Amino acid sequence: MLMIRQAWRNIFRNIRRTVLTCTLIASSLVVIILVDSIINSMAGLMVKGITETIEGEAQIYHSGFRDQFDPELYISDPKSIISKLDSDDEIKTYASRVIVPSMIGSSYNSDGVILYGVDAEKELNTSRLQSAVIEGDYLTGSDRELILGRLIAEKLEVGIGDRIVITSSEINTNQMIQELFRVSGIVQFGPKELDEGFAFINLSTAQRMFNIGEGVHQIAIRFNNPELANSPDLDIYKTLPSDTLEAKGWLALQPGLGAILEMTGLSTLIMGVMLFILASLGVVNSIFMSIYERTYELAVSKAIGTRPSGIASLVLLEGLFLALISCFFGIIITFILGIFLQENGLPLGHMEFSGVAFPDNLPVKLTLDQFVNFPFYVVLLTLVAAIYPAIFAARIIPAQAVQKAL
Amino acid sequence: MSNVIEIQNLTRKYGKGVAEVIAVNQLSLNIEYGEFTAIIGPSGSGKSTLLNLIGGLDNSDEGQILLAGNNLASMSGKKMSDFRRDHIGFIFQAYNLIPVLSAAENIEYIMLLQGISNAERSKRVEEMLHLVGLEGLGNRRPSELSGGQQQRVAVARAMASEPEIILADEPTANLDSKTGASLLDMMKGLNEEKEVTFVFSTHDEMIMKRAKRLIHLRDGSIERDESNTNA
């Protein structure tokens, strides 16, 4: 206890130095927690942006469809799959889709789009299609209605009620087909790629138009627990796939996103290591200054019988207290900043990355583990930084130190 | 009476070549239990070096020191620390109390190193404070005590571990004559009452007058070793 008291009081012998050192360590802690939160929030938004906009958290499709994007690779009889999905407790919702590249034309212009035939009711909980409608109405099930992305609508110079002609080819026979639609709604998802390249009609219309009976190209799935989406142990990943079917979570569907997430984790680690190395240098400097100032005192302690390990322990305890004080204030500052950023977001301006549009004010979410893990690392690294000065102090030779001090 | 300190052919050199200084030169000396001895001599005569060597704070180049029958040269760092803790008390010129600890805690510190129980420590701290006349001042930090009071705490700290020998390097050098005399009387009393061996390194006339034995050093060797019958 006496050594603990001594170490604690030693911390406050030079308050200015202690404040500066603690400020350095606490600042590093604040920065690393906030950077981690921002990166996590961006990563979370990217994942949500991709999984909630259209893709879903997992997909079932005909083998090869995603690689070749060949409309002929469709699931001709989705009923058995759908009954499995209906009976699976892990699955929150799903939506079947027909997906065919088509030409879209208006009186003024024409362009290529990915035409989605969607189940309007199922899409309500599976994608953001309904909430993305900025003009007109969502699909009602009527045969001639069509929803267009905002940018393609502008390109085609059409508005609500205007006529649109879809030109494509029947899937099985490759015969050219043309259908007339009227623009019933205009959507804006955010990413340019979606807003200028997608058009949506009703699923039954698409099935009839492409003459595929009840066939679908894709079943997008969302789970009650989205964390499960990439678990290879899920029943749908193990039981559904066959020679003709594939079922994959979003990480397998979007390997690029997985790489980005991995990179963000690595960048946080690199930044954290650099910050803590800088902070550690500050700690080493501060403790060395403290040791130099009381070399004679430490020498006397050693002379009267304190073992070298006792001297080293004292210095390490001082490092520990510096770290604990720094973490205490670092956590308070981070908490206050975190609450502000959670409520107001981080103003980044309009930003789009990897097909995901971020909101102007990025919502920053702090988690409990950040307030536990990072301070733990700070304490650990501060102690590691204090080892060298502690060994130095333990090696002070009393007679030499006494002579130098005198 | 047996010897608490036995020194044979002790030599300590500093520097090399032309810069070599022989601080202690082939010195032999015995000090018995309970002696009140002063090592005196001009500056540079080797007093402090000899005291450091006796206290195990420095290593000799030649010769050996037996302290309470233990050969200091055979002890490693950790064993040496423990030996100093249990057998030797130190009093330094500049008091050298730990400034962040109170007077009582400074006295308690060495007993804590010895692993003495909490209750026993508290009891002995009170005894020591009483012994050096500082009752009621145990909670004061060194900066709140006068020089004389700080040196009394240093004596109490040196006594707390119940050592066989106390080595005092110029203990009165920073004190006025009245305070120095009072401190010296106290140490003399402890020497007579507790039979603790005191070895001083000093220039102080007061200590020389009170010491029972005076060892005169010059150039690292004993010039004269005399009993002080007037002490």
pLDDT tens for residues A30-50? 988 988 888 888 888 878 878
The pLDDT assigned to B231 comes to: 66
Residue A54 inside a domain? The answer is: no
Mean pLDDT of A130-149: 91
Residue that is written with structure tokens 């009602």 in the block = A140
Instruction: Report the residue from B96, B105, B110 with minimal CB separation from A296.
Output: B96
Residue A192 inside a domain? The answer is: yes
Please indicate, yes or no, whether residues A104 and A179 belong to a single structural domain of this protein: yes
A302: closest chain B residue by CA: B81
Residue A249 inside a domain? The answer is: no
Q: Could you give the CA distance from residue B80 to residue B65 in angstroms, rounded to a whole number?
A: 13
Please indicate, yes or no, whether residues A89 and A234 belong to a single structural domain of this protein: yes
Mean pLDDT of A351-356: 63
- For the beta carbon of residue B99, count every other beta carbon within 10 angstroms: 16
Q: What are phi and psi of A88, to 5 degrees?
A: -90, 120
* % of chain B at pLDDT higher than 90: 18
Q: Could you give the CA distance from residue B38 to residue A46 in angstroms, rounded to a whole number?
A: 83
HSE (CB half, 13 Å, CA atoms) of A274? Answer: 7
Instruction: Report the residue from B93, B94, B113 with minimal CB separation from A305.
Output: B113
pLDDT digits (tens, 9 = 90+) for B48-89: 889 888 988 888 889 999 988 888 888 877 888 888 888 898
**Chain B contact for A391 (CB, 8 A cutoff):** no
Q: Could you give the CA distance from residue A157 to residue A236 in angstroms, rounded to a whole number?
A: 43
Residue that is written with structure tokens 């050592």 in the block = B163
Residue A283 has pLDDT above 80, yes or no: yes
Please indicate, yes or no, whether residues A130 and A229 belong to a single structural domain of this protein: yes
Q: What is the DSSP letter of A108?
A: S
The pLDDT assigned to A103 comes to: 94
Task: Please name which of A199, A91, A210, A219 lies closest in space to residue A155, comparing C-alpha atoms.
Answer: A199
The pLDDT assigned to A44 comes to: 80
Residue A352 binned pLDDT confidence (cut-offs 50, 70, 90) = low
Q: Could you give the CA distance from residue A287 to residue A293 in angstroms, rounded to a whole number?
A: 10
Q: What is the DSSP letter of A129?
A: T
H helix runs in B12-60, sequence order: 47-54
Distance of residue B231 Cα from the nearest chain A Cα, in angstroms:
29
CA A212 to chain centre: 38
Residue A14 binned pLDDT confidence (cut-offs 50, 70, 90) = confident
Indicate which of B81, B83, B201 best probes the interface with A, i.e. most A CBs within 10 Å of its own CB: B81
The pLDDT assigned to A150 comes to: 93
**Residue B197 near residue B166, CB atoms below 8 Å:** yes
Q: Could you give the CA distance from residue B222 to residue B3 in angstroms, rounded to a whole number?
A: 18
The pLDDT assigned to A406 comes to: 41
Query: Is the ipTM value over 0.95, yes or no?
Result: no
Residue A306 inside a domain? The answer is: yes
Please indicate, yes or no, whether residues A233 and A376 belong to a single structural domain of this protein: no
- The CATH number of whichever domain residue B95 belongs to comes to 3.40.50.300
Distance of residue B23 Cα from the nearest chain A Cα, in angstroms:
13
Task: Please name which of A209, A24, A223 lies closest in space to residue A126, comparing C-alpha atoms.
Answer: A223
Q: Which residue has the higher pLDDT, B217 or B174?
A: B217
Say what the alpha-carbon torsion angle A107, A109, A115, A116 is, to the nearest 10 degrees: -70
Residue A241 binned pLDDT confidence (cut-offs 50, 70, 90) = low
Which residues of B, range 8-27, sit inside 8 Å of A by Cβ? none
Please indicate, yes or no, whether residues A19 and A107 belong to a single structural domain of this protein: no
Q: What are phi and psi of A197, to 5 degrees?
A: -125, 5
* % of chain A at pLDDT higher than 90: 39
Q: Could you give the CA distance from residue A2 to residue B159 in angstroms, rounded to a whole number?
A: 19
Residues of chain B found within 8 Å of residue A9, distances taken between Cβ atoms:
100-101
- For the beta carbon of residue A177, count every other beta carbon within 10 angstroms: 15
Task: Please name which of B152, B163, B157, B214 lies closest in space to residue B185, comparing C-alpha atoms.
Answer: B152
Task: Please name which of A25, A41, A22 lies closest in space to residue A359, comparing C-alpha atoms.
Answer: A41
Please indicate, yes or no, whether residues A88 and A237 belong to a single structural domain of this protein: yes
Calculate the average pLDDT of chain A: 87
Distance of residue A20 Cα from the nearest chain B Cα, in angstroms:
21
What are the C-alpha distances in Å from A257 to residues A69, A248, A264, B75?
20, 14, 10, 65
CB contact under 8 A, A2 and B105: yes
Indicate which of A304, A311, A314, A317 best probes the interface with B, i.e. most B CBs within 10 Å of its own CB: A304
Whole-structure pTM value? 0.74
**Chain A contact for B87 (CB, 8 A cutoff):** no
**Chain A contact for B85 (CB, 8 A cutoff):** yes
The pLDDT assigned to A219 comes to: 93
Please indicate, yes or no, whether residues A357 and A288 belong to a single structural domain of this protein: yes
H helix runs in A255-355, sequence order: 255-293, 295-303, 308-344
Please indicate, yes or no, whether residues A294 and A391 belong to a single structural domain of this protein: yes
Residue A194 inside a domain? The answer is: yes
Mean pLDDT of A206-212: 92
Residues of chain A found within 8 Å of residue B108, distances taken between Cβ atoms:
2
Q: Could you give the CA distance from residue A250 to residue B190 in angstroms, rounded to a whole number?
A: 84
Q: Could you give the CA distance from residue A393 to residue A307 in angstroms, rounded to a whole number?
A: 11
The pLDDT assigned to A137 comes to: 92
The pLDDT assigned to A353 comes to: 64
**Chain A contact for B95 (CB, 8 A cutoff):** no
Q: Name the 3-class secondary structure at B14.
A: strand
The pLDDT assigned to A393 comes to: 92
Residues of chain A found within 8 Å of residue B52, distances taken between Cβ atoms:
398-399, 402
Long-range pairs for B181-187 at CB < 8 Å and ≥24 separation? B181/B206, B182/B148, B183/B148, B183/B151, B183/B152, B183/B155, B184/B210, B186/B132, B186/B133, B186/B152, B186/B155, B187/B155
Residues of chain A found within 8 Å of residue B100, distances taken between Cβ atoms:
5-6, 9-10, 13
Residue A250 inside a domain? The answer is: no
Number of domains chain A contains: 2
H helix runs in A51-88, sequence order: 65-68, 79-87
Residue A348 inside a domain? The answer is: yes
B167: closest chain A residue by CA: A304
Calculate the average pLDDT of chain B: 86
Please indicate, yes or no, whether residues A204 and A303 belong to a single structural domain of this protein: no
pLDDT digits (tens, 9 = 90+) for B129-173: 888 888 889 999 999 998 888 888 988 888 888 888 999 888 887
Sequence-separated (6 or more) residues with CB below 8 Å from residue A215: A74, A75, A76, A77, A78, A98, A207
Please indicate, yes or no, whether residues A74 and A192 belong to a single structural domain of this protein: yes
Please indicate, yes or no, whether residues A321 and A395 belong to a single structural domain of this protein: yes
CA geometry: angle at B72 spanning B67 and B75, to 5°?
A: 135
Distance of residue B1 Cα from the nearest chain A Cα, in angstroms:
27
Residue A287 inside a domain? The answer is: yes
Which residue(s) pair with A353 in the sheet? A356
Which residue(s) pair with B199 in the sheet? B37, B167
CA geometry: angle at A166 spanning A162 and A171, to 5°?
A: 155
Give me the domain span that covers residue A286. Answer: 2-49+258-405
Q: Name the 3-class secondary structure at B59.
A: coil
Residues of chain B found within 8 Å of residue A293, distances taken between Cβ atoms:
none
Distance of residue A399 Cα from the nearest chain B Cα, in angstroms:
5
Which residues of A, range 278-307, sit inside 8 Å of B by Cβ? 296-297, 300-307
The pLDDT assigned to B105 comes to: 92
Please indicate, yes or no, whether residues A40 and A87 belong to a single structural domain of this protein: no
Which residues of B, range 153-182, sit inside 8 Å of A by Cβ? 157-158, 161
Domain boundary among A188, A214, A242: A242
CB contact under 8 A, B96 and A297: yes
Mean pLDDT of A59-85: 89
Q: Name the 3-class secondary structure at A245.
A: strand
pLDDT digits (tens, 9 = 90+) for A307-323: 888 999 999 999 999 99
- B103-114 vs B118-131: helix axis angle to the nearest 10? 130
**Chain A contact for B86 (CB, 8 A cutoff):** yes
Q: Which residue has the higher pLDDT, A183 or A297?
A: A183
The pLDDT assigned to A356 comes to: 64
The pLDDT assigned to A95 comes to: 93
Which residue(s) pair with A352 in the sheet? A357
Task: Please name which of A123, A334, A91, A320 lies closest in space to residue A225, comparing C-alpha atoms.
Answer: A91
Give me the domain span that covers residue B209. Answer: 3-227
Number of domains chain B contains: 1
